[in-house]
Structure formats: C-alpha cells, structure tokens
C-alpha cells in the first residue's frame, strides 16, 4: 500500500529525487512537456549518464535540456525541492497559517529561507484568473474589516496602522479578499462589480457605501450588525464573510503576530486559497498549491540567496 502523503515520513519530504518525481507527477500528469515548445511524448528524451543530474530531459525540437522546475517559482531557487514540498504541505494543512519561525524549526533552514519559502508559496496560492463569484439565484456576501494595529508595546510610539480588508464571498462558494486603501464607494464599487456577477443577490451590512452599488445587482439585502438580526431568517445574514474574517484575524494575531502592510495581500491570497480549496483533503490542497507554482517564474532579484543556513 502506498504511503499516505500526509505521513511526514513520506520520502517526498526529505528525498529530493522523490520530491522531484512528486512534482513531475503534479505538473506533468501525462509525461514531460518541453517548457519552450510544449511538445511531449517521443519528442522528449530523458538524459541519463553519470555526469547528468537526475530529472533532466532534452527536447528533440529545440534541442534544449530542461527539468520540471523550469518556468516555475522554484526555477532559480537553491532550496531543495523536498523542503518546498514539505512547506507546501504545512501551509496547506494549517488552518490559521504557520509562522516562518515555526517553519524554520520544522524544516531546518535559517529564518530568511523559511520566510522566503512561505512568501513564494503564497504566490503559488494566488489565482491569477479567478472566475466571477455568484450568478443567478446565488448570494454573495460582502464586508470589510480591519487587521493590524495591535501594538506589542503600547508604551512606545504610536500604535501600528490598521489595514482595511474587503472580502466578497459566495455562499457555499469561493472568496476573494482585497487589501484596500479605504472602504468608500469609489474604492469598493469597481472591486465588487468586477468580482461578483451582477445576477447575484448582494448581502452586506447597513453601511451607506452599499445601497447604490446594490442597485446594480439582482437584489441587495442589508443586515444590521448591531441589532439582533442574525436570527432574521435563513437568508438574511453575512455570517459566511464574518467567519472568514474571524479566521484571518486568528492567523494575523495568533500565528503571524501582525503582518506588514506591504505583505498583507500575500496573506490574503493564502487564506483565500485555503477557503477555496476547503473541500479538498490536506494532501490534495498541498498538491493544488504546488501546481500553482507553474507559470510564476521568479525574477533574478527575487531569487533566494541563502539555501541552507
Ligand atoms: Zn523544446
């Protein structure tokens, strides 16, 4: 019986050849594909020999060698592939996220490498072509919240700035969250109409920002947070988006101990990804995360420097 992918003794987490084979099976389910020509099958030969490192293939059309990491976020990374695979597993299975400090301890790298790994995996989590939320007879909940701004030591200086996050979530469906400069209609309207199908029913709180935008949708319901309206019916609520924010905040404050403004969008991509793949098993979610490495090549200046500290 094959070992479960959740078993940390699985060789894909510590044997780089096994990790590469795992990565190949995810990115090339039908065999190696030339990253330049897109050719497969008998146009590809596997390079073998004492001087060749494993996992190198050659394309008969462009005559260039390649491996599975070409064109992915791992291409210019010196971090062993097994550590990427393990870090992806840990991120995929941690509901409130995992800190780089914790990852550092678990995979035996320096802090900078662990930090780099998780941020790059957040790039993998980012869906560059998300489909619209909602549709006819579907409900999309919208809400705003604030994260950050909890000072570690209030005696010193001004408390850190709070950052506004806006989220749209289809009930029983996917979420899209955004770090926004503010929560006025000028900022939110373009996001809402671009993200959610206007055939949907939009459910918001009673903020004056929403009625005009709501008119553009098939319907608009506004829930009064302060009143006891959660019990108004099985339809009139924004609990789905509120649950999303509750989990995000547990991550921001409990796991990451605040996040910087510059990186907030990366954490949002991570939490969106986990929500949007919640019906998958942890192992399947980790595989989906690794598949997201495709087509996200790093720039030279982004490539990691320290490999194993
Ligand atoms: Zn080729």
> pLDDT tens string for the chain (309 positions)?
444 556 888 999 999 999 999 999 999 999 999 999 999 999 999 998 888 888 999 999 999 999 999 999 999 889 999 999 999 999 999 999 999 999 999 999 999 999 999 999 999 999 988 999 999 999 999 999 999 876 555 566 666 789 999 999 999 999 999 999 999 999 999 999 999 999 999 999 999 999 999 999 999 999 876 665 555 567 888 999 999 999 999 999 999 988 889 999 999 999 999 999 999 999 999 999 999 999 887 655 565 554 433
CA 75 – ligand 1 centroid, Å: 17
| Domains of the chain: residue spans and CATH | 139-267 (3.30.420.10)
Amino acid 164: pLDDT: 97
CA 124 – ligand 1 centroid, Å: 25
Non-local (6+) Cβ contacts of 295 within 8 A are 71, 72, 128
CA 303 – ligand 1 centroid, Å: 24
CA 62 – ligand 1 centroid, Å: 4
CA 33 – ligand 1 centroid, Å: 8
CA geometry: angle 261, 266, 270, nearest 5 deg: 135
CA 32 – ligand 1 centroid, Å: 11
Amino acid 309: pLDDT: 31
CA 59 – ligand 1 centroid, Å: 5
CA 63 – ligand 1 centroid, Å: 6
Helical axes 81-93 vs 111-125, angle rounded to 10°: 70
CA 18 – ligand 1 centroid, Å: 25
- 3-class DSSP assignment, residue 58: strand
CA 286 – ligand 1 centroid, Å: 29
How many Cα atoms sit within 13 Å of 152 on the Cβ side? 5
In the chain, DSSP assigns E strands to 44-46, 57-59, 65-66, 139-147, 163-170, 175-180, 201-205, 219-223
CA 66 – ligand 1 centroid, Å: 9
CA 237 – ligand 1 centroid, Å: 54
CA 46 – ligand 1 centroid, Å: 13
CA 38 – ligand 1 centroid, Å: 7
CA 155 – ligand 1 centroid, Å: 61
79, 304 in Cβ contact below 8 A?
A: yes
CA 269 – ligand 1 centroid, Å: 33
Q: How many CB atoms lie within 10 A of CB 179?
A: 18
Return left, alpha or beta for 126; rule: phi > 0 is left, psi -120 to 50 is alpha, else beta.
beta
Is the pTM for the entire model greater than 0.85?
yes
Sign of torsion over alpha carbons 77, 83, 86, 91: negative
CA 199 – ligand 1 centroid, Å: 45
141, 240 in Cβ contact below 8 A?
A: yes
* Residues 165, 31: Cα–Cα separation, whole Å: 42
* Residues 163, 130: Cα–Cα separation, whole Å: 23
How many Cα atoms sit within 13 Å of 206 on the Cβ side? 7
């Amino acid at each position: 019986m094959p070992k479960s992918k959740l078993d940390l003794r699985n060789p894909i987490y510590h044997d780089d050849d096994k990790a590469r084979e795992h990565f190949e099976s995810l990115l090339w389910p039908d065999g190696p594909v030339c990253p330049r020509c897109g050719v497969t099958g008998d146009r590809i030969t596997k390079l073998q020999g004492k001087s060749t490192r494993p996992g190198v293939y050659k394309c008969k059309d462009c005559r260039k060698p390649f491996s599975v990491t070409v064109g992915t976020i791992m291409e210019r990374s010196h971090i062993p592939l097994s550590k990427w695979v393990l870090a992806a597993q840990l991120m995929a299975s941690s509901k409130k996220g995992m800190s780089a400090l914790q990852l550092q301890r678990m995979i035996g790298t320096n802090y900078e490498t662990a930090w780099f790994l998780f941020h790059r995996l957040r790039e993998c989590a980012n869906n560059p072509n998300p489909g619209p939320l909602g549709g006819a007879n579907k409900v999309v909940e919208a809400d705003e919240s604030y994260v950050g701004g909890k000072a570690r030591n209030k005696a010193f200086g001004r408390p850190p700035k709070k950052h506004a996050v806006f989220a749209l979530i289809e009930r029983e469906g996917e979420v899209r969250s955004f770090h926004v400069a503010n929560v006025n209609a000028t900022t939110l309207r373009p996001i809402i109409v671009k993200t959610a199908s206007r055939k949907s029913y939009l459910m918001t709180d009673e903020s004056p920002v929403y009625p005009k935008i709501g008119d553009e949708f098939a319907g608009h319901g506004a829930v009064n947070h302060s009143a006891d309206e959660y019990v108004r019916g099985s339809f009139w609520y924004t609990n789905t988006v509120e649950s999303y924010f509750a989990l995000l905040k547990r991550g921001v404050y409990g796991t990451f101990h605040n996040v910087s403004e510059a990186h907030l969008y990366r954490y949002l991509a991570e939490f969106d990804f986990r929500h949007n793949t919640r019906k998958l098993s942890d192992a399947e979610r980790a595989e989906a995360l690794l598949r997201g490495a495709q087509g996200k090549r790093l720039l030279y200046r982004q490539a990691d420097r320290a490999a194993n500290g």
